[in-house]
Amino acid sequence: MDYALQQLLNALAFGAEYSLVALGLAVVFSIMGLVNFAHGEIIGVSAYSVFLAAALGLTSPFVAVLLAVAAAALAAIAFERVAFRPVRYAPTTTGLLTAFGVSIVVQNLFMLLISPKPQSVSILNGLNQMWFVGPFAVSSLQVMELIVSGLTILALVLFLNRSTLGLAIRAASRDFATVRLMGIRANRVIATAFAISGALAGIAAVFIIARRGSVSPDLGFSLVLKAFVACVIGGFGSLAGAAAGGMLLGFIEVGLLVALPQEYGGFKDALTYVIIVALLVYRPEGLLGQRVELGDKEI
């Protein structure tokens, strides 16, 4: 029973992290059709700024968390301004390749300017403790991950549904031209979307640093690959799909870890992707995506 509960918590915590990152991707994609491969490097910028601040003498974990989120949001806005604005109205493939290029540049800048080797960061280690709840030992980090992700998603939903800017963002994901005709600035809507996406990445970065205790140039890259897969299973561009896809991915991964014998543990990633590709054979548009035929009018 203890074991089962522990694995359930694992799955929920992994899923929550994937959902956070996948939501960041989906917010940007739904508005400007950009497949943001550089999302992992936003996480990277956030993690490295915590590393630098700690190296310069920052000791308060609370400030470090704020710094991580702020740095990520600013990095996202900066990426948009520098690299993605010139390709804003270009075809999806162009944007995708631009983002891929940005990702390579930033990853290699970390290597060039800091170090290709992982650097240790201990400032957030305090978040990762064992809590004893009755007879169970649970990791504080996992519980926090779950709660914080839940609250963040709630806040995002409230923002999108209750505020004017949120309404503009939702409208922009349907028909950007009309939103601009209503007198809303395109740059503001897009900058807000990137800031949200960055903040979500920053929160994910906090958990990654706390769990690993170190930063490395490729720290966000593999996570973002998984988040993309989460978006794909959920249906690309759908926010609910991204969150659900992330959770499902967490459960598939932990399920495989439990089910696979020790010596085949290395095949976990391969099998996860095989399962997902198999799901796509049955639902090419994703679990929550709508099947759109060519020439359909949007309803």
Please give the residue ranges that form the binding site for another protein (CB under 8 A).
29, 32-33, 35, 83, 86-87, 89-98, 100-112, 116, 176, 217, 225, 228-229, 231-232, 236, 264, 266-267, 269-270, 273-274, 276-277, 280-281, 284-286, 294-295
The structure tokens 């799909």 sit at: 241
Distance CA 210, CA 143 (A): 13
Pairwise CA distance, residues 62 & 127, whole Å: 10
What token pair was written down for 48? 């490295």
Q: Which residue has the tokens 């914080």?
A: 148
Q: State the nearest-atom distance from the C-beta of 162 to another protein, in Å.
A: 27
Q: Is 190 helix (H, G, I), strand (E, B) or coil?
A: helix
CA–CA dist 299, 293 (Å, integer): 13
Which is closer to another protein, CB of 188 or CB of 283? 283
67 vs 168 by CB, closer to another protein: 168
DSSP-derived 3-state class of residue 21: helix
Closer CB to another protein, residue 1 or residue 113? Answer: 113
268, 253 Cβ separation under 8 angstroms: yes
Question: For 295, phi and psi rounded to 5 degrees?
Answer: 85, 0
At closest approach, how far in Å is the CB of 160 from another protein?
21
Q: Considering the complex, what minimum distance in angstroms separates the CB of residue 144 from another protein?
A: 29
Could you tell me the smallest distance in angstroms from the CB atom of residue 23 to another protein? 16
Q: Please state the closest distance from residue 61 (CB atom) to another protein, in A.
A: 30
Q: Rg of the chain's alpha carbons, rounded to an integer?
A: 19
Which is nearer to another protein, 148 or 271 (by Cβ)?
Answer: 271
Q: How many helices (H) and strands (E) does the chain have?
A: 11, 4
Residue placing its CB nearer to another protein in the complex, 37 or 207: 37
| Smallest distance, another protein to C-beta of residue 215, A | 15
Which lies closer to another protein via its Cβ, residue 129 or residue 269? 269
Residues 71, 43: Cα–Cα separation, whole Å: 9
